[in-house]
Every structure is written in C-alpha cells, then in structure tokens.
C-alpha cells in the first residue's frame, strides 16, 4: 500500500504525464509532502520516507513544527500555516486568502506572496534534487490555480533568465496544479492494486480535450 501523496503521484503520472521520466506531486494540505515517481515507479528511499519535504528546515529561527523541529517548510506553505499566519480559522483558508488579496488586503497579499516565494524555492529543490521534468501541486492550496500558478511561473521564468543552470531544470510550463475533476489518488491506488481504471481513463480523455485552464495543464496532454 502507498500513502495518499505517493498514490496521487502515481495517478498524476498515469493520467497527466505518462511520458515523464521523473514526476513529483506535492500535497499542500494540512502539512506538506511530496510523492516521487521515477520511470513509472514510486520512489520510497532507503527508509521509506522519501518526499517528506515538509520537514526540511528552511528557517532555524522560524515557527515550531509539530515534528519537534523549528522552521520547517510546512510552517510556511501548508494550509495550516496559512490559517495560523492570517489568523482566520476557515476550512478553505487558501481561497479566502486569495479573495482578500484580490480585494486589496495588503496583509493577505503579503502572506500569499511569501507562500509563492517559498514554493519557488521548493520547485527549484525538487527539480535539482530529483531531476524532475514535471511537478504537480495538489492538496487544498494546489487547487487555488492561477492565483498561485501565475506568480510562481513568473518567478521561475525570472530565475531561468538569470541562471543558465535554472534554465536547464524543469520549465515553468511543466509546473501544474492538479485538476480538481480527476481523483489522482484513486487512480494511483488502482495502479498499485493493478485494478481496472477504465472510468478514470475516460475522464482523462475528457481532460485532454479541454483548453488550458486555471491549473496550467496544457491542452495537448496525451493519455
């Protein structure tokens, strides 16, 4: 059996980018974790904890994390972190934050900008460490679509323009948000169990025929 993030990574590889040599799915929910698929197989690591990027320390003087460390990535870019930093206890904290920022709330915009800045760093880590050619953002924050993806891609393009190395890693157009209409976790779980997934494949075909949407997925996805 696989954990939910690793299963979603398998589903993303099966449905969105079966040609990808290395695909990374990042779950941005209560916490932060990544699932890595290399040559169609899940990468678990020697200890089975590969992809636990939420507990990479990015600020030794930052907020305490539930793991016992301080300044972990998920203290900045998880849904829980957004709720804590903004001080608003709502289920869809990310959507509420985006709405407030769009309405001119400068504090909300500052938090959103900081989340995007750390996502930019995270994408660079994943691209350089795993050699990822596709990165998919999922979970509650991943469903924000354009408000997250547009500024993130802008940062990636700027970085690529300044650095030859950055220009050679994953391109901005290969960073997507997970499509809400496809249950990637279920697809991945079915793949692990070697169960039939014809209904899901049908949904993937419909996805491939649509124009590019808020999740950044290209219209030319092959399934």
What pLDDT digit, counting tens, does each position of 92-145 carry?
Answer: 788 889 999 999 999 999 999 999 999 999 999 999 999 999 999 999 888 899
Please tell me the distance from the alpha carbon of residue 86 to that of residue 6, in angstroms, as a whole number. Answer: 29
> What are the tokens at 42?
């899940």
| DSSP label of 143 | T
Phi, psi of 180 (to 5 degrees): -65, -25
- Give the model's pLDDT for residue 171: 85
- Give the model's pLDDT for residue 183: 86
pTM of this structure: 0.84
143-148 mean pLDDT: 91
DSSP string, 23-91: EEEEEESSSEEEEEEETTEEE--TTS-TT-GGGSBS-TTS-B-TTS-BSBTHHHHSHHHHHHHHT---T
What are 41-79's pLDDT values in tens digits? 989 888 888 899 999 999 999 999 999 999 999 999 998
Contact 43, 156 (CB under 8 A): no
Confidence of residue 198 (pLDDT cuts 50, 70, 90): very low
- CATH class assigned to 4-209: alpha beta
DSSP string, 93-140: HHHHHHHHHHTT-HHHHHHHHHHHHHHHHHHHHHHHHH--SEEEEEHH
- Give the model's pLDDT for residue 121: 93
Q: What is the CA radius of gyration of the chain?
A: 17
Please tell me the distance from the alpha carbon of residue 72 to that of residue 56, in angstroms, as a whole number. Answer: 5
151-155 mean pLDDT: 96
152-177 mean pLDDT: 90
Q: Which of 63-67, 79-83, 91-95, 185-189 has the lowest mean pLDDT?
A: 91-95
- Give the model's pLDDT for residue 189: 85
Is the pLDDT at 218 greater than 70? The verdict is no
- Give the model's pLDDT for residue 70: 94
- Give the model's pLDDT for residue 221: 56
- Give the model's pLDDT for residue 214: 61
What are 8-33's pLDDT values in tens digits? 999 999 999 999 999 999 999 989 99
Please tell me the distance from the alpha carbon of residue 171 to that of residue 153, in angstroms, as a whole number. Answer: 9
Distant-in-sequence, close-in-space partners of 205: CB < 8 Å, separation ≥ 6: 223
- Give the model's pLDDT for residue 92: 77
- Give the model's pLDDT for residue 90: 62
């Amino acid at each position: 059996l696989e954990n939910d993030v690793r299963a979603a990574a398998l589903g993303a590889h099966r449905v969105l980018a079966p040609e990808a040599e290395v695909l990374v799915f990042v779950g941005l929910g209560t916490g932060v974790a990544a699932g890595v698929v290399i040559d169609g197989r899940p990468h678990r690591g020697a200890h089975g904890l590969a992809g636990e990027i939420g507990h990479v320390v990015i600020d030794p003087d930052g907020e305490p994390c539930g793991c016992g460390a301080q300044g972990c990535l998920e203290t900045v870019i998880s849904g829980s972190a957004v709720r804590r930093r903004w001080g608003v206890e709502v289920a869809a904290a990310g959507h509420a934050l985006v709405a407030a920022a769009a309405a001119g709330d400068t504090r909300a915009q500052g938090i959103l900008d900081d989340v995007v800045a750390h996502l930019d760093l995270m994408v660079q880590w994943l691209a350089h460490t795993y050699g990822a050619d596709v990165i998919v953002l999922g979970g509650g924050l991943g469903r924000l679509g354009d408000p997250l993806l547009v500024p993130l891609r802008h940062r990636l393009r700027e970085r690529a323009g300044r650095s030859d190395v950055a220009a050679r890693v994953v391109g901005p157009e290969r960073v997507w948000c997970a499509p809400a209409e496809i249950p990637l976790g279920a697809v991945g779980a079915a793949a692990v169990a070697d169960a039939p997934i014809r209904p899901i494949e049908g949904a993937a075909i419909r996805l491939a025929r649509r124009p590019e949407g808020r999740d950044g997925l290209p219209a030319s996805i092959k399934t």
